[in-house]
Structure formats: C-alpha cells, structure tokens
Structure 1
Amino acid sequence: MAMTVVFGVDIGGSGIKGAPVDLESGELTEERYKVLTPHPASPEAVVGAVCEVVQHFGHQGPVGLTFPGVVVDGHTRTAANVAQGWIGLDAEGLFQQALDLSCTVLNDADAAGLAEVTYGAGREQDGVVLVLTFGTGIGSGLFVDGTLVPNTELGHLELRGKDAERRASSAAKERHDLTWPEWAIRVDEYLDLVDRLFSPRLIVIGGGVSRKHDKFLPLLKQREARVVPARLLNDAGIVGAAMAAAKAT
C-alpha cells in the first residue's frame, strides 16, 4: 500500500524548513519547523540543520529534500546560493548517512512545481506550465502536459548582462530597496523573457513573496499566459519533496 504521510524538507538560500505531508491532500499534517540556512551554507553545516529539522519531529521513514541548484541522480551539480563545496557532491548519500533514513534529493523549484501541478494552481492544466519561485534567487519548474522538464534553472538566464535573479528575485527587491511598483517592472521584464522562450499557457508565481501576491501581481501587464499565485504558497517545496520521496520508495 502506498504511504500517505511522507516527510519533506525544503532547503533554501535563507531558511531550511520541513514537515510531514499528507499526500492524499497535499497538506502538511503538522506546523512546519524552520531554521535559518547556515552561512556559509557548507554541506556539513546544511546537513546539521536538516538533521535538526527532521529530528524535531522524531521522524522515521523516507525523507524528500529540495536543493537550490541542479540535481542529477542525487548529485548536486551547481550551487548558486550555497557554498561551492556542493558541486559534484553525492548529496543524497550524504543525507542518508547523516539521517540513517532513505533520502531523495531534487531541485527546489522542480519540487514546488510538482506540488503546484498536482494539488495547486497548475492542476489539470495542459500545455506548457511554468512555475517560478521568487526568493533568494529565481527558481523554475517547467512542465509540458503535466510532465516535468527537470533542472531548467531559468533564474540564470541573462537579463541586462547578468543573471536574471540578480535583478528580479525578491532578494534583489530588498537589496535595492525597491517599491512594489519598481520591482513589478523588473518582474515583467523577466516574464517577457521566459514568455518569448517557452510561450507558456500558465505562469505560477511561488516562493516566499507569493504570500504578498496582492502587492505586485495586479501591477503586472496583461500577457497571453495567465499569471497566478501559487496555491500552496511557500509550502510547495516541502510538499514536492515529500512527493519525490514517496515516488522513489
């Protein structure tokens, strides 16, 4: 019989949070527990923080974990917002050893996207769907008729000569002390870029800033693609991580 409650951990540039997830409903069964991401975010320091989150719940069983970078077969290939020591690491093996539990690791925005197309704003939407998470960087989950194209990392597309996330992430808003209307102009510019490349039918805006979507979504210009807030808000990564762990067992 398939497991219905699985543990998910979302590793972000600023925070590491986790909770058990009911995969029947896509909802957390307990209030999530969060710790600050260590700086520098070395593998050893992050593993310690993840252990604190998982052990807070006394959890035993499979664990799904998101990572803010490219993940292929459990190995972390890039590390834009964490320490460079992650590059080329067998992250899955590292977490399994530390937790003594079965672990599955995937890209953070891919996890958020999986949750949104299964339980949230992208459910039953055919064609191209793009889930974008705005936080420390910009993550992207690209789906074609519900199937994930993994590790797109579209926050690193070039925009005005630099990584797009340097201009348009929510961290960039804080760094440059931008008003909501000023930041919306940058978000629109970024959406124009991904619009031209992928012609999505639906763009779902997630990440920490999604809980304040009423401040900026109405300021964005009309476009062919519908632009909507994530329904699972900032819990989407946790839910998607748990989904991946359940699928792997």
Structure 2
Amino acid sequence: MQIFGVDIGGSGIKGAPVDLDRGDLTDERYKVLTPHPATPDSVADGVKEVVDHFGWTGPVGVTFPGVVTDGAMIRTAANVDKGWIDTDARVLLGGRLGGAPVTVVNDADAAGVAEMAFGAGRDRTGTVIMLTFGTGIGSAVFTDGVLVPNTELGHLELHGHDAEKRASSKAKEDHDLSWEHWAHRVQQYLAHVEMLFSPELFIVGGGVSRKAHKFLHLIEGVNAQIVPAQLQNNAGIVGAAMRAAHGA
C-alpha cells in the first residue's frame, strides 16, 4: 500500500510516495524551499508543488512544525508564520490539492511514529524519546510504543532560553559552532530532558542524523542510550503517510 507523505520544515518542504509495508520511499523525494514568510497560503502552494511533481491524486499525510490537534487544527507556529495558528490545515491543504483527503500531524510525532515502526525504536519498550534537530527541536515521546502527542520539548527552558535557540542545528549554523561546542549544548539539553522523563532511549533525528558520527560520541554523562534515527531525514515523510493511512 502506498500513501503520499509531505514534511513541512522551517527550511524546506519535501515529500514522496511511501510504501507502508516497507516504511520507505518508493521514489526519490522532491523538495522545495519553505517560503518566507511561511504563511498558510504560500506553504500550501509549496505542498501542492511537491504533490503535483509526482502526479499524486490520493490521500496525503502532511507534517507541521507545531502543535496539531484532531489531525487538522494548528495551535502553535514557532518557526513559521503566526497566521497558521487556529488554521484548519486539513481544509486548507485539501482544497489546494483538489479535494484530496489530508491528515496533518506534528512533524516530530510523525518522525517518531516512523522510527518506532521501522527504525531505531522498533520493538523497544519503556520510555523512548525521539528528538529532531533542525530549524528547531521537535520531540516525540513514547511509553511502551504509545505516543504522547504534541510534547514540543524543544521549548523547554535551558539557561534562560528556549532549548532550540541553543541546541538546534540552526543554532549551530547561526553561531558557527564547532561539532564539539554544539555537542556540549546538545548534551546539556539531553541531560535536562533525561532528568524530567528518565527515558531508556533517545533517538536523534533530523538532517543532522546523517552526521551522527561527528557528534554523538562527544556526548557524555547521559544515562539513556543515544542512537541516530535509522530513517534519517525521511522519517517525517514516512510517518506522515502512516498517520494518513490511519486517519491520524
């Protein structure tokens, strides 16, 4: 079975058809830059461009970098235009896609769902936390495989700031941090999250997961196992398609 997945991020909108039996893309993903400002209409245009690239006409799962309720309603918009707040994204995107059924889910929740089914969290019990490092920091918390949605742990306070302002991939780029310096910030963040939730496993996702060998070994003093996401930056696309298949 195939469903189309789209991952809306702070820097890019990417998508592809997904084989739900294998948990993998059936074609090379297509990506467009996230518009700035990332208003609902401009982002919807980007989603349409990605979906139209493949000539897809069936159901579509879409991730969003913020709190999403009922598979449709946007409640927060930290890294996109505030005009998204209280937008029914299912109606907006479904209309832009010619009436296609659309399911919308928090981006990190989608990535986590995919990793728990097909990646680093497969067959794991206890508390598992997926953290996606990109424009911000997304989070997905699982207890014995059950998702606690919309946790948004990237907005925990760390040294007087939102954690994502210090430890996201964007923070590394903005402040031209070395891998060692950035890993120290990530270590402080993980230690804070571990103090609150005591997970058995951290899964590190987002685009930076492709470079896990550059920084994971530098993180010390965290009791939980720390592993890179196996689906890497495709996890959000796969998870979006999975949620669409089950109507969120």
TM-score range normalised by the length of the shorter chain: over 0.9
Give SS of 1:123's match: coil
TM-score for the superposition, normalised by structure 1? 0.98
Map residues 204-215 of structure 1 onto 2, 5 A cutoff.
204-215=203-214
Q: Which residue of 2 is the match for residue 128 of structure 1?
A: 127
In structure 1, what is the Cα distance between the partners aligned to 2:79 and 2:126?
31
Q: Which residue of 2 is the match for residue 194 of structure 1?
A: 193
Contact 2:187 2:222 in 1 (8 A): no
Map residues 76-95 of structure 1 onto 2, 5 A cutoff.
76-95=74-93
Match 1:75 to one of 73, 76, 81: 73
Q: Which residue of 1 is the match for residue 41 of structure 2?
A: 44
Contact 2:6 2:63 in 1 (8 A): yes
Q: Which residue of 2 is the match for residue 114 of structure 1?
A: 113
How far does the alpha carbon of each residue in 1:15-69 deviate from its partner, in whole angstroms, 9 at most, with x for none? 0000000000101000000000000000000000000000000001100000000
Give SS of 2:239's match: helix
Shift of 1:248: 1.1
Give SS of 1:89's match: coil
How far does the alpha carbon of each residue in 1:126-169 deviate from its partner, in whole angstroms, 9 at most, with x for none? 00000000000000000000000000000000001110000000
**Identity across matched positions, percent:** 65
In structure 2, what is the Cα distance between the partners aligned to 1:65 and 1:33?
14
TM-score for the superposition, normalised by structure 2? 0.98
Q: Which residue of 2 is the match for residue 148 of structure 1?
A: 147
In structure 2, what is the Cα distance between the partners aligned to 1:224 and 1:188?
11
In structure 1, what is the Cα distance between the partners aligned to 2:143 and 2:35?
35
Give SS of 1:133's match: strand
In structure 2, what is the Cα distance between the partners aligned to 1:242 and 1:43?
21
In structure 2, what is the Cα distance between the partners aligned to 1:180 and 1:122?
25
- Residue 30 in structure 1 maps to residue 30 in structure 2: no
Q: Which residue of 2 is the match for residue 8 of structure 1?
A: 5
Q: Which residue of 2 is the match for residue 105 of structure 1?
A: 104
In structure 1, what is the Cα distance between the partners aligned to 2:243 and 2:93?
15
Shift of 1:224: 1.9
Q: Which amino acid aligns with 1:172?
A: A
Give SS of 1:55's match: helix
In structure 2, what is the Cα distance between the partners aligned to 1:247 and 1:188?
36
Match 1:63 to one of 60, 63, 68: 60
In structure 2, what is the Cα distance between the partners aligned to 1:126 and 1:120?
14
Structure 1, gaps ≥5 residues long? none
In structure 2, what is the Cα distance between the partners aligned to 1:75 and 1:241?
15
What is the count of residue pairs matched by the alignment? 246
Q: Which amino acid aligns with 1:213?
A: A
In structure 2, what is the Cα distance between the partners aligned to 1:55 and 1:16?
13
Contact 2:18 2:26 in 1 (8 A): yes
In structure 1, what is the Cα distance between the partners aligned to 2:32 and 2:77?
20
In structure 1, what is the Cα distance between the partners aligned to 2:144 and 2:4?
27
Structure 2, gaps ≥5 residues long? none
